């Protein structure tokens, strides 16, 4: 049975007209969203052999935050750093394994 692809999470921000990248970067809920959703979305995109991992939609705007596959490892490493701070080493191990899978596939494709 094929699984239905989930719709991206919507990140809801107040006062979108004056929203800056600094506001977004400093938002604790946004950091939590990135920490939890980025690895899931990257893994899904990797398994589907996609070029982009769609992380979330900003409000209901139709504007999506996506990561190109060239940025997946850096994003996962950033997530690992957040999980290390929480001493969640089980999740760190899972993310490290995903990084190795991505790197191994990249090496095989280069041959």
Whether the predicted pLDDT of 108 surpasses 50: yes
Model pLDDT, residue 82: 92
pTM of the shown model: 0.76
Model pLDDT, residue 25: 66
Domain ranges across the chain: 21-110
Provide φ and ψ at 11, rounded to 5°. Answer: -95, 115
State percent of the chain over pLDDT 70. Answer: 77
Q: Is the pLDDT higher at 59 or at 64?
A: 64
**Helical segments of the chain, H only:** 21-26, 28-47, 72-85, 89-110
CA distance 80 to 16: 29
Q: What is the mean pLDDT of residues 74-86?
A: 94
């Amino acid at each position: 049975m094929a699984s239905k692809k989930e719709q991206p999470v919507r990140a809801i921000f107040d006062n979108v007209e004056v929203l800056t990248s600094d506001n977004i970067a400093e938002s604790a809920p946004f950091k939590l969203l990135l920490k939890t959703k980025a690895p899931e979305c990257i893994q899904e995109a990797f398994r589907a052999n996609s070029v982009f991992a769609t992380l979330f939609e900003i409000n209901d705007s139709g504007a999506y935050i996506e990561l190109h596959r060239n940025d997946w490892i850096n994003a996962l490493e950033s997530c690992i750093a957040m999980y290390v701070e929480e001493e969640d080493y089980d999740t760190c191990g899972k993310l490290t394994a995903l990084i190795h899978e991505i790197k191994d596939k990249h090496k095989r494709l280069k041959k």
